[in-house]
Structure 1
Amino acid sequence: MADIERKNTTPLISLITVNYNQAVVTCDLLESTRQLTYPNFEIIVVDNGSVEDPTERIKAGNYPHVRIIVSPENLGFSGGNNLGIQQAKGDYFFLLNNDTIVTPDLLEQLIKPFFQESTIGVCCPKIRYYDEPDVIQYAGYYPLNKYTGRTWAIGLMEPDQGQYDRAEPTHFAHGAAMLVSREVLDRVGSLDDSFFLYYEELDWSMRIRKAGYQIYYQPEALIYHRESMSVGKQNPMKVYYHTRNRLWFMRRNVETLPLLVFYTYYFGLALPKALLQYTLRWQPDYLKAVSDAVIWNLKHKVTETHSEGKPSPVAKPFDAMLTN
């Protein structure tokens, strides 16, 4: 991979986006890609089992560089992107949410750090909100709090006044926009399908950093994001996957003692608080979503390998409940 980079300053970038019942939104993204000035890229649209096949609508737009892959079933964010990766030809893979709008020099700015530092594995742009274009959504991530299972995006909801305009390593990539090298995929593997939706990029970031690569924030690259268009601002599906995958992520990535503290905090405070709120508002679908999420974790044991065959944490104390 290093040889490719030295010989070619414009390696092929495969831009991969996943569509799920949002053909109009996806076409808005594709329309914005017409302004990209990088000379060597392809676009792969993966349709994730939408009710209506978007192929004809996308083809009617006559978008350059676009290939369409139609999955008969919804593979989730992880599975949809992985399907696109399998079909991509690029030296780099740019996983981009379909509810984003790109800026002209986005790809040039994202690829630049890879030529400057060989340990960079993933590069993410600055992200602002589409509806509030001067407000930041992502300018890197703070470290994970191993005792609460929480982290926050740097600059979240702050007006962009240039306060986060320094390019630097960060702790996690943002799932809405991640440029990753083929070398990283070959060594670390792709997104883990078990997450389906939410936390998959945090898990991937942990694996990538453990393999010795940096996650990098590049403020000279910019996109605009229409947040949460696929599943809405709040609904039972979102509650289910946030609850399920927060537990799953912690079980896979945190050592025994901090994990025990997390269990105490989560089951003693965070989860009862959420259940109380859903009860007082009488949201039975939300209560069921939380219950199903916990039961899923009880039934699934963290093994020695990921689905791609890459190293994974060994079973944690929570898993012992399966054998009692």
Structure 2
Amino acid sequence: MSDISAYLDKTCAVILNWNAYLETIECIENVVGAYSGLSIIVIDNFSSDNSLHEIKEHLSLLAVNSGALFFCVDENDFGRAVNEINAVNSCCFILVKAHENYGFAGGNNRGLSVGMKIKKFDYFWMLNNDARINHNSLPELLKVFCGSNSVGFVGSVLCDYYHHDVIQCFGGGNIYKWIGKRKLYLKGEKVSYLSTVAAATPDYLMGASLLVKKRVLETVGLMDEFYFMYAEELDWQLRAKKNGWHISVAPGSIVYHKGAVSTKGRSYLYHYYLNRSSIIFTRRFYSYSVLVSVLMFLPLVNTFKLIKEPKNLAYAMKGIVDGLFFKYPSLF
């Protein structure tokens, strides 16, 4: 695919922001620098740090300089913007104002909901605001779609932002259902390792750089917002697989990812939501015997790992209990 301009015109990047406008603006600049004709939807997940104003100013200036359309819309009131974009079929930058912090799934869903109304978009590139791309990141993802009608999701090879030669994961990870754990595929390997093996497709793809077809959204729906953080991509992709879709990894799509921006300095939230999501996912997709096994294993492994971190351990256990009883607290 030497000329991807036609595919870029049908693709929209979706970037979620929460109290990290400097990170998000840097991500936007990175994307615009690589693909000048790419449309972008940014969702501000009810930030309290002036993110909405800062990102609005930046996107409006980018639009003026590039000739793109720019709209700042409410999550429930974007009809006029969609109609104008559909009328002129132009590159656009859209900033969506969320009414509350909906988490990863809910925030991205608001952006995808807007994008689905724009006729020219066939593909949505979910990109974390702490991810940095190069000129091949998106074209390599699109190549996979061009070669298969049954693939609904394509993931990138995520590498450590601070150590570019170290793999965070090859697309995503594998599920170990009996213990309620997941492991990132090829984590810690050198990038050069990819040239020596034929890497398999993992069980699921990470949402840090994930290309999804609009037809998947139309047939499967959006992500389940009840998870708030973690496992929403697993749930989404497993539902898609049950509807006949496949997932794949583009080995040539390299994305450099920082990671854990939302929970930085608050590791207890990581342990809480990770355990909560594991229990919810297990309850929804596996048998009672698997759930019993997970409920035996997770408390033991968390106690072993976090015995010297009482706050983290307490929140990890709370996550297990809240997941078991489908509780939906917002700790942010």
In structure 1, give the amino acid aligned to 2:106. Answer: G
SS in 1 for 2:158: strand
Q: CA deviation at 1:37?
A: 3.4
Structure 1 equivalent of residue 101 of structure 2: 74
Q: Deviations over 1:270-303 (max 9, x none)?
A: 313423554x4252x33442343233234339xx
CA contact (8 A) 1:171 1:205 kept: no
Q: Which residue of 2 aligns with 1:260?
A: 289
| Bigger shift: residues 9-18 or 26-35 | 9-18
- CA–CA separation in structure 1 for the residues paired with 2:26 and 2:139: 21
- The separation in 1 between residues aligned to 2:155 and 2:35, in whole angstroms, is 18
Residue 111 of structure 1 deviates from its aligned partner by 1.1
SS of alignment partner, residue 163 of structure 1 = helix
After alignment, is 122-131 or 61-70 more displaced? 61-70
* Aligned pairs for 1:140-155 within 5 A: 140-141=171-172, 143-155=174-186
Name the CA shift for 1:63/1:157 in 2 (closer, same or farther; >3 Å). farther
Q: State which drifts further: 244-253 or 138-147.
A: 138-147
* Distance apart, 1:192 and its partner CA: 0.4
* 2:302 alignment partner, one of 259, 274, 287: 274
Are 1:33 and 2:31 counterparts? yes
2:129 aligned partner: 98
Find the counterpart in structure 1 of residue 264 from structure 2: 232
Query: Within 5 Å, which residues of 2 pair with 1:279-290?
Result: 280-281=307-308, 283=310, 285-290=311-316
1:319 aligned residue: none
Residue 219 of structure 2 is matched in structure 1 by: 187
The one-letter code sitting in structure 2 at the alignment partner of 1:94 is W
Secondary structure of 1:152's aligned partner: strand
Aligned residues: 287
Residue aligning to 2:89: none
Q: How far apart, in 2, do the equivalents of 1:289 and 1:83 lie?
A: 28
Cα distance change, pair 63–147 in 1 and its aligned pair in 2 (3 A): same
Q: Deviations over 1:51-106 (max 9, x none)?
A: 12323322443334432112131010000000001111321111111111111232
Flag the 1:31–1:203 CA change in 2: closer, same or farther, 3 A. Answer: same
Query: For 1:148-168, what per-residue CA distance to the aligned partner results, in whole angstroms no more than 9, with x for missing partners?
Result: 223322221111105268687
Question: 2:108 is aligned with what amino acid?
Answer: N
Residue in 2 aligned with 1:296? Answer: 322
Instruction: Check the 8 A contact 2:174/2:185 in 1, yes or no.
Output: no
Any stretches of 5+ residues in structure 1 without a counterpart? 1-7, 302-324
Structure 2 unaligned residues grouped into runs of 5+: 1-5, 64-91, 328-332
Distance 1:38 1:216 in 2: 26
In 1, Cα distance between equivalents of 2:324 and 2:244: 32
The verdict on how the C-alpha distance between 1:291 and 1:151 changes in structure 2, with shifts beyond 3 A counting, is closer
CA contact (8 A) 2:44 2:97 kept: yes
Q: Within the alignment, does 1:201 sit opposite 2:233 as a pair?
A: yes
